[in-house]
Amino acid sequence: MDLITSLIYKAMSYRLRKIERYTVDSDSIQSAQLAQVLKRFNGTAYSSKYTKEPILSYEEYRKSVPIVEYEEIRTFVEEMLKGKRGELFSEKCQWFATSSGTSGGRSKYLPVPNSHLRQCHYRGASDTLWLYLETRPDSQFFKYKSLVIGGSHSPSQYGKETHTGDLSAILVQNMPLLGQLYRVPSKRTLLMGEWISKMQKIVEEVHTADVGSLSGVPSWMLETIMAILEKTGKQNLSEVWPNLEVFFHGGISFEPYRDKYRAIIPSDRMQYRETYNASEGFFGIQNDPLDKSLLLMQDYGIFYEFIPMSKFNDPERIAIPLCDVKMSVNYAMVISTLGGLYRYVIGDTIQFTHLSPYKFIITGRTASYINAFGEELMVHNANDAISKVASDMELSVLEYTAGPRFNLDKANGYHEWIIEFDKAPSDPAVFMSNLDQELRKVNSDYDAKRYADMALLMPKLIIAKKNLFKEWLVAEGKLGGQHKIPRLKNDASLLDKLIQLNK
């Protein structure tokens, strides 16, 4: 490490010792988080809906407070947006993150009070760096600039004192001084609302900077990189920024983009570290470059519960605490946080890969899957399969989505895939045949339904024109920031919209 990086890292070594406690002291850590959450919960308008007395134990909490989704708290949040206090917590709240989830419906606004920003989101950002430096003795992180790509915020429609926007914009607006010193582009540029003008301004500011690290959503970062290469006339990013060493990414799966990034950043020093920082909270960090699993962050003012996806749609959904989870079970995550979410279904699904310490992979969304024919195809299956096939065929997939089509007269159907390639396959039929075979390998339910073409037929491909998915984001008012393409849907609604735009 260079001197500055080494000194900062050593000063923060105490934090790594606390993280080591995750392995041996998980139960007491989670009990402490629950105590913080209950202190915040008791005495609120929301708590009075379910109990007249303060709740002091987990047993009381799980019996008295139901598992909820956003619609059950919407009215409380809207009162907070008007400036009212005491709805979900007593603290004044100025910032509300607009959800960038893949499910439809009206906008969701998640409270981000200062205490939640500090104890959860900023602690997660700093822990990401300390865990990275722990395994990177050759790092020169603080010697160079860090390129951050994010969204924007604006005053809310409910009142002048509250602001809504992408979580990334809220983080930039309130970023501690150390982060502001090393980040590019300028705050003013990064918080611009109109994406196309913002991209042009970012490129102007950063193409001559000496950048050593990247942070953002893979799709939007890739678009920024391609614009920088066009501006500079360089063949790859290593020619522009020879000191680049790491990309901290999150928001969507990196797998479909991995080969493309390796091609445009042909550096042996380059590493990729995933983070799981959602509007609702910061949950996981990839602490080992050789293991794609994420370390569950246990002391961020978050109490965790989990619902097995096999029982997610039961009339009475029963959640289990962290200490009762098992490996290789697909769980919906339920969180209680200092941000005013109590037994809240975040909408993401995960599987644990280790239990000491707890590590996991993100498997998809509770509403992002295809199970039209009993195939139970999850997002992580799709990401793994399409990445493998694209890599084997030396192709680059830029974006994709898939959904079911039905042959009602024959009681069967197929999956239709819309894929945007950097360069389309010379034989699309071979690509889809390979994708089908890979899906059969990674998902036994899919394989069973594909048997003899009885329930599920061979998938079909529509090759997307260039920037089709970007056009859809523009049409939906979701261009830029942390907005994502839904990878899988259990109906054809998104397919139909994209096909219309693809003409």
Considering the chain, what is the average pLDDT of its residues?
92
Q: Where are the beta strands (DSSP E) in 197-322?
A: 211-216, 246-249, 271-278, 281-285, 294-296, 302-308, 320-321
Confidence label for 481 from pLDDT (cuts 50, 70 and 90) = low
Phi-psi region of 336 (alpha: psi -120 to 50; beta: other; left: phi over 0): beta
Phi, psi (rounded to 5 degrees) for 244: -65, 130
Within-domain flag for 313: no
- Considering the chain, what percentage of its residues have pLDDT values greater than 70? 97
Residues 254 and 395 reside in one and the same domain? no
Within-domain flag for 452: yes
Of 251, 285, 319, the residue at which a domain comes to its end is 285
Residues 132 and 251 reside in one and the same domain? yes
Q: What is the pLDDT of residue 106?
A: 62
Residues 277 and 375 reside in one and the same domain? no
Mean pLDDT confidence for 211-238: 93
Q: What is the pLDDT of residue 302?
A: 98
Residues 407 and 267 reside in one and the same domain? no
Within-domain flag for 310: no
Structure confidence by residue, pLDDT tens digits, 382-405: 999 999 999 999 999 999 999 999
Residues 398 and 280 reside in one and the same domain? no
124 or 198: whose pLDDT is higher? 124
Q: What is the pLDDT of residue 480?
A: 63
Whether 421 has a pLDDT exceeding 50, the answer reads yes
Helices within 358-492 (DSSP H only): 379-392, 428-442, 444-450, 468-475
Whether 324 has a pLDDT exceeding 50, the answer reads yes
Confidence label for 73 from pLDDT (cuts 50, 70 and 90) = very high
351 CB-contact burial (10 Å; exposed 0-12 / middle 13-18 / buried 19+): buried
Confidence label for 104 from pLDDT (cuts 50, 70 and 90) = very low
Of 285, 313, 343, the residue at which a domain comes to its end is 285
Phi, psi (rounded to 5 degrees) for 30: -65, -35
Query: What is the domain range of residue 244?
Result: 116-151+167-285
Phi-psi region of 281 (alpha: psi -120 to 50; beta: other; left: phi over 0): left
Q: What is the pLDDT of residue 366?
A: 80
Q: What is the pLDDT of residue 376?
A: 80
Give the total number of structural domains in the chain.
Answer: 2
Residues 387 and 250 reside in one and the same domain? no
Q: Which positions ≥6 away from 471 have C-beta within 8 Å?
A: 501
Residue with the two structure tokens 């949040």: 77
Residues 276 and 374 reside in one and the same domain? no
Within-domain flag for 261: yes
Nearest to 410 by CA among 458, 455, 461: 455
Whether 247 has a pLDDT exceeding 70, the answer reads yes
Within-domain flag for 29: no
Helices within 397-457 (DSSP H only): 428-442, 444-450
Structure confidence by residue, pLDDT tens digits, 123-163: 999 999 999 999 999 999 999 999 998 888 888 888 778 99
Whether 101 has a pLDDT exceeding 60, the answer reads no
Residues 492 and 376 reside in one and the same domain? yes
245 CB-contact burial (10 Å; exposed 0-12 / middle 13-18 / buried 19+): buried
Phi, psi (rounded to 5 degrees) for 368: -125, 90
pTM: 0.82
- Considering the chain, what percentage of its residues have pLDDT values greater than 90? 73
Nearest to 31 by CA among 246, 303, 231: 303
Of 285, 302, 334, the residue at which a domain comes to its end is 285
CATH of residue 460's domain is: 3.30.300
Within-domain flag for 123: yes
Within-domain flag for 55: no
Nearest to 411 by CA among 456, 469, 441, 376: 456
The least confident of 63-67, 138-142, 406-410 is 406-410
Residues 241 and 382 reside in one and the same domain? no
Residues 374 and 280 reside in one and the same domain? no
Within-domain flag for 439: yes
Q: What is the pLDDT of residue 103?
A: 41
SS3 233: coil
